[in-house]
Structure formats: C-alpha cells, structure tokens
C-alpha cells in the first residue's frame, strides 16, 4: 500500500461528529467539548495496559544489561519522544545516552515545522545506523497515524539489527499493520479538529511515554517507594526536593539532612543508605553497586545479612 496517496481511511484523519459545529461554539462550549473528548485518552491507555506493561518489562530488562532506549518520531510524535528522553537525566540521574530521542529533521525540527522530512523512509534507517543501534537496544517508533515513513524505516532498520522494537500508534491494527515486538495502539478516535493529532493522539502518546519511562526507571531501582531518590541535584529546586526526601524518610532536620546530602556527594540514594545502615560513603557506594543501584535491594539484602 502506498500510504502517501490516500489516508482518509485512518481513524486519526476522520471527521469527529461531536465537533461538526466547532467554529460556532462559545469558548466555554469549546472547553467542555475538549474535556469530554479527552476522556477517551484515559480509556485508550487503559485498553493498552497489557502492551504497555510488556514494553516496560522488556525495556527495563534491556537497559539493565547495558542497552539503550530510543524514541523515534516526526512532528509532534518526535517532539514528545525527545521531551520524554530529555527529562530522564534530571529526574532519574540517567546518563544522557541511556534514553534518546530521534526526530525527523534533527534539532531544528523541535522548534520549527519540518514535516516534509517525515516522508523519507531511508532517513529513519540512517538515523538508526548513526546511533549504532544493536541487539541490546530498544527502539520505540511513534506515529499517530501509523504510516510515517521515517518511523517505519527506523523500525525496520532496528529489527534488522536485532534490536527490540516497540510501535506506538493511534489507529487500530486493521487499518495499519507493522512488524514489532510490542504493538501499542492508543485508539482515541477522530480529533476535534480533523486530522490534528497533536490533540487527543498527542495527549495519549505523552501519557504512554510517561508510563513507559517511569515504569522502566522504577524497575531499574531508581525509585524508592514513590520518591525520586535518583534525582540529579543540579539547581535550587532539586536541592530542596532532595533535602525534603531525606528529611521525610529519615526524620532528620533540615541542617542535618544538608550535611548528610553533602557527605554523599549530593546523591540522595547514597545518603539514605549511609544513614540507615551507618555506613561511610565508600562502603555504601560499594553496597549499592553490588545491587545495581537498587536501594531497596541493598537494604533488604543487608538486613538479611545482619540477622545471620
């Protein structure tokens, strides 16, 4: 099928009967309509729960073995991927290469429309080659309508290199098929503004990426309870957050929490382990490394040893 000829059959391109009189609605009516339609993004995520869980499991397994996670997209889909990747280092203190975003058109496409570049399938394959994707890696192709040549080229190239492939789209499988290890369909229906997939499709995609990346980081031990214990303490806001985490979990006052944080080289996870186990930084660091940076595993293992 030549996807560039006729795309009106795609669910994301169809006309939404609920917004036929969009240009005649009052501002309040517009807001209410968006609110009603956006409920469908929650429903779409719920229906994709099993596939999202599978994506979390295989991605976290790959990253725990030294693999990388790539998001590949064009236009809105590409920008959402780059955004999610960019937020991983400050939130989870990941190295910048662990989660990466690839967008058709490169950096300039983040702030300037370059949608014509999404039509080049070979560019998607070249991007995968430049990134030196291997069998250790996971490549997530994001395409609301499912037909973006750049994304499909990237997925095909990734599979040729034996990488794990995940596809995220907002059309049902009977409309667009693809070979991927995990096929996530977020069926949000026709957009309020016909064809504008930056709306419901974009919202559902952002939600899915939130779940995927956060779930992966939880599995990698970068979260303790629901606390961001691997936060990168790089500015005043994040310093305050780090101190509050330490205060809340240890019952230390602000000044003592600050001393503990500084003695851990501003690493919250390390500070907590030092405090709870009465260890110096070097010993706590070795214990964490032994458990691949998983604070809970380090604590539970050490507690078991203490009882022997």
Active-site residue set: 87, 118
The residue written with tokens 């186990």 in the block is 277
- Whether 169 and 186 have beta carbons less than 8 Å apart is answered as yes
Calculate helix-pair angle for 200-219, 75-92, nearest 10 degrees: 30
β-strand pairing of 69-73 with 164-169:
unpaired
DSSP state of 13: G
Cα–Cα distance list, 64 to 51, 59, 91, 158, 294 (Å): 20, 9, 18, 19, 11
Six-digit token string for 58: 């295989």
For residue 62, give the nearest of 156, 133, 142, 149 by alpha carbon.
Answer: 133
Helices (H), 191-231: 200-219
């Amino acid at each position: 099928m030549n996807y560039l000829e006729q795309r009106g059959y795609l669910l994301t391109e169809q006309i939404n009967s609920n917004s036929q009189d969009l240009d005649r609605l009052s501002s309040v009516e517009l807001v209410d309509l968006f609110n009603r339609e956006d409920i469908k993004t929650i429903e779409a995520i719920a229906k994709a729960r099993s596939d999202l869980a599978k994506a979390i499991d295989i991605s976290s397994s790959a990253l725990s073995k030294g693999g990388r996670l790539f998001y590949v997209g064009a236009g809105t889909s590409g920008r959402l991927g780059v955004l999610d990747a960019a937020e991983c280092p400050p939130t989870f203190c990941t190295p910048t290469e662990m989660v990466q975003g690839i967008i058709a058109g490169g950096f300039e496409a983040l702030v300037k429309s370059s949608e014509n570049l999404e039509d080049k399938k070979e560019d998607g394959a070249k991007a995968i080659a430049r990134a030196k994707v291997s069998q250790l890696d996971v490549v997530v192709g994001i395409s609301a309508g499912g037909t973006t040549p750049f994304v499909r080229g990237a997925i095909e190239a990734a599979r040729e290199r034996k990488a794990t492939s995940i596809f995220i789209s907002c059309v049902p499988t009977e409309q667009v098929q693809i070979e991927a290890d995990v096929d996530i369909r977020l069926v949000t229906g026709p957009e309020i503004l016909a064809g504008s997939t930056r709306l419901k499709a974009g919202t559902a995609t952002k939600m899915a990426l939130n779940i995927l990346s956060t779930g992966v980081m939880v599995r990698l031990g970068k979260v303790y309870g629901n606390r961001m214990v691997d936060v990168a303490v790089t500015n005043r806001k994040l310093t305050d957050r780090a101190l509050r985490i330490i205060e809340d979990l240890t019952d230390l006052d602000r000044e003592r929490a600050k001393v503990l944080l500084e003695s851990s080289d501003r690493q919250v996870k390390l500070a907590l382990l030092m405090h709870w186990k009465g260890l110096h930084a070097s010993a706590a660091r070795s214990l964490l490394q032994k458990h691949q940076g998983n604070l809970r595993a380090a604590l539970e293992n050490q507690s078991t040893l203490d009882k022997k």
